Amino acid sequence: IVYALTQSGSYNVRVGQGSGTSLIHVSGSPFSVTIVPSEEVGSQTSALGDALTLATVGATSTFRLVARDMWGNLRRPSGSVFTCTLRGFRDAYATVTPSTEHYVSTYSLTLSGSYQMEVKRSGTHVIGSPFALTAVPGPASGSQTAMLTSLAASTAGEINSLTIAVKDAYGNARVGGNEVIVFGGDGLTSAAATPGASGTFSASFVLLKQGRIPVA
């Protein structure tokens, strides 16, 4: 007797002579049979989570992989057989580890920009792979932020301009950031900087007196 099933689960297999209600069972029939999923395949596996398309530099990003066999039967993780590569200006890699019900992929980036995330099993992409991922800069870092305009030649009583380049802890420009930057000091009017292009902020201020004036 040979049979093949495509759906995993529990079955009762009746073996005997005849059919229907007149079937004469052989000894032990019906038999309880458990059909388990076959090997997981990439083409039937789903990737789930916001981290497939959006990440923040410096933060840990995580998404899930729900594995299935070629017939679509859910597969519990049996080992780390998936790979995840983020293709960009500088390639990066994610770790893939099994959990109770699915695989968990984790990565962290230090360079902002656009990536193509390839998630594969044995060279075959999972459903939807490669994914278009955007990595945005992390929070503004004071140690990485710099003034692009020299204040040494500022003139008292006149409007002076200042340009600041705001970056995150990894040196990525905070393009489109919503920081509120206020600078001031004893002897000048305080001013809030407004965002410009490529992560720069600009502001105007007036010095109220001559001499060496500390600015913060």
- pLDDT computed for residue 46 by the predictor: 95
Please compute the mean of the pLDDT values over residues 44-67 and round it to a whole number: 96
Please compute the mean of the pLDDT values over residues 23-49 and round it to a whole number: 88
Q: What is the pLDDT of residues 99-140, one digit of tens each?
A: 988 999 999 999 999 999 999 999 999 999 999 999 999 988
- pLDDT computed for residue 211 by the predictor: 44
Report the phi/psi class of residue 7: left, alpha or beta, with left for phi > 0 and alpha for psi in -120 to 50: beta
pLDDT at residue 216 above 50?
no
Please compute the mean of the pLDDT values over residues 167-177 and round it to a whole number: 81
| Contact criterion met (CB below 8 Å) for 64 and 97 | no
pLDDT at residue 214 above 50?
no
- pLDDT computed for residue 145 by the predictor: 77
Output 115 or 12, whichever has higher pLDDT.
115
The closest alpha carbon to 147, from 200, 78, 209, 198, belongs to 200
Q: What is the pLDDT of residues 191-207, one digit of tens each?
A: 666 666 677 777 776 66
Q: What is the pTM assigned to this prediction?
A: 0.74
For residue 213, what pLDDT band results from cuts at 50, 70 and 90? very low
Q: What is the pLDDT of residues 59-106, one digit of tens each?
A: 999 999 999 999 999 988 887 689 999 999 999 999 999 998 899 999
- pLDDT computed for residue 151 by the predictor: 62
| Contact criterion met (CB below 8 Å) for 173 and 205 | no
Please compute the mean of the pLDDT values over residues 46-50 and round it to a whole number: 96
Residue ranges with strand state E in the chain? 9-13, 16-17, 24-25, 31-35, 40-48, 54-56, 61-69, 82-87, 92-98, 103-107, 113-121, 124-125, 131-136, 146-147, 159-165, 181-185, 188-195, 200-206
Which residues have CB under 8 Å from 146's CB, separation 6+? 164, 165, 167
pLDDT at residue 30 above 80?
yes
For residues 17 and 32, give the distance between their C-alpha atoms in angstroms, rounded to a whole number. 18
Least confident of 23-32, 50-59, 148-157: 148-157
Q: Pairing relation of β-strands 40-48 and 92-98? A: unpaired
Q: What is the pLDDT of residues 142-169, one digit of tens each?
A: 788 777 666 656 666 677 777 778 888 9
